[in-house]
Copies of this chain bind each other. A is one copy, B any other.
């Protein structure tokens, strides 16, 4: 258990480096008889794919996924699903000059500390390239959710770029695919565009905040103590490259509130079902879903791969200044959106199957 897998009952394990021949994963625990084809996975990969506009790294990857097993005559068989994506646009020579240098804010130095060596080409295993397999596994998780808990919808949006947060009142889900930032307010997105052009031209980078909302989640998913639904979501989200914070519902704001202001009061709905008057809990109480929207926000740091010189050291103990050329994202938070959605999907699918095991 060296950390390359996620989930218990729905579990996927990934492999692959940024500049190796391919990346892939094995997914274990998928229920049988669910329709599944490459066409169910590819669109999500396409949405994550870099190089689609000037605001993401210009690496061009086809990201064509192949299903190697676990599907027969168009449906899942219940056996493990192997997925593979060949890498096609590695330019390892771009990275020759960082072979002996440690980039501040990157995993370069700690990999050497832990393992005594590192695959320096494009960050090796620490590269965001790995997130393609998260998105692929997430697509399979969505198929499970669609069939076993129909009505769940998982959507992510970028709600803050650098210091510029959106106005929640202007949130319009329909807008988020109308701009290059998954921003649910196209007006705000215009401001971000100018801001990010400035960042990019200055050779710098910026952070951002991403919110993922899962609606239609049935009440009762989760577990009481250590595998709380929110605990597993926190792990899932914090495991995404560059994420430094995770909030559920009101999150850090809840620390400032009084008990009565934070409480989500309950009434009976016209349909005879319980309804909540607010959702500070973010759809999770005591580690178990309430049936409200599950709301998670994550803080994404600015990438350290910038053209502005930063102080560092090399493998020989020399003090140096580092400039990272290569192909990089001025705001990696943008590409974190589909990845965070995927991690929501896999976490929910895992807990859905776990719930079936224990509660039928």
Q: Would you call A106 an interface residue if the criterion is a C-beta within 8 Å of the partner chain's C-beta atoms?
A: yes
Most buried by B among A266, A268, A290: A266
Q: Mark A225-249, 1 if CB is under 8 A from B, else 0.
A: 1111011111111110100111111
Complex contact B199–A258 (CB within 8 A): yes
Q: Mark A242-261, 1 if CB is under 8 A from B, else 0.
A: 00111111111111111110
A317 to chain B, nearest CB (A): 6
Of the candidates B259, B265, B313, the one whose C-beta lies within 8 Å of that of A311 is B265
Complex contact A69–B257 (CB within 8 A): no
Q: Tell me whether A225 and B285 are in contact in the complex, defined as CB-CB below 8 angstroms, given that A247-B299, A301-B254 are known contacts.
A: no
Q: Tell me whether A31 and B107 are in contact in the complex, defined as CB-CB below 8 angstroms, given that A13-B80, A162-B255 are known contacts.
A: no
Identify the stretch in A39-47, A49-57, A124-132, A184-192 within 8 Å (CB) of chain B at 4 or more residues.
Answer: A124-132
Give the distance in Å from the alpha carbon of A163 to the alpha carbon of B261 in the complex. Answer: 13
Of the candidates B9, B68, B300, B356, the one whose C-beta lies within 8 Å of that of A1 is B9
Q: Which residues of B contact A117 (CB under 8 A)?
A: 32-33, 72, 75, 77
Copies in the complex: 4
Q: Would you call A143 an interface residue if the criterion is a C-beta within 8 Å of the partner chain's C-beta atoms?
A: no
Give the distance in Å from the alpha carbon of A113 to the alpha carbon of B290 in the complex. Answer: 8
Complex contact A126–B286 (CB within 8 A): yes
- A interface, how many residues as a size bin? 35 or more
Complex contact B313–A33 (CB within 8 A): no
A253 to chain B, nearest CB (A): 8
Of the candidates B72, B233, B244, B308, the one whose C-beta lies within 8 Å of that of A248 is B244
Q: Would you call A154 an interface residue if the criterion is a C-beta within 8 Å of the partner chain's C-beta atoms?
A: no
Complex contact B247–A72 (CB within 8 A): no
Complex contact B219–A310 (CB within 8 A): no
Of the A-B pairs whose beta carbons lie under 8 Å apart in the complex, a sample of 20, sorted by A's number, is A1-B8, A3-B227, A15-B26, A15-B68, A15-B70, A110-B219, A110-B289, A111-B286, A113-B291, A231-B236, A232-B235, A244-B250, A244-B281, A254-B300, A254-B301, A257-B302, A263-B310, A265-B310, A265-B311, A277-B311
Q: Would you call A222 an interface residue if the criterion is a C-beta within 8 Å of the partner chain's C-beta atoms?
A: yes
Q: Tell me whether A209 and B252 are in contact in the complex, defined as CB-CB below 8 angstroms, given that A21-B66, A109-B274, A287-B239 are known contacts.
A: yes
Which are the 3 A-B pairs with shortest beta-carbon distances?
Answer: A107-B286, A3-B223, A3-B227
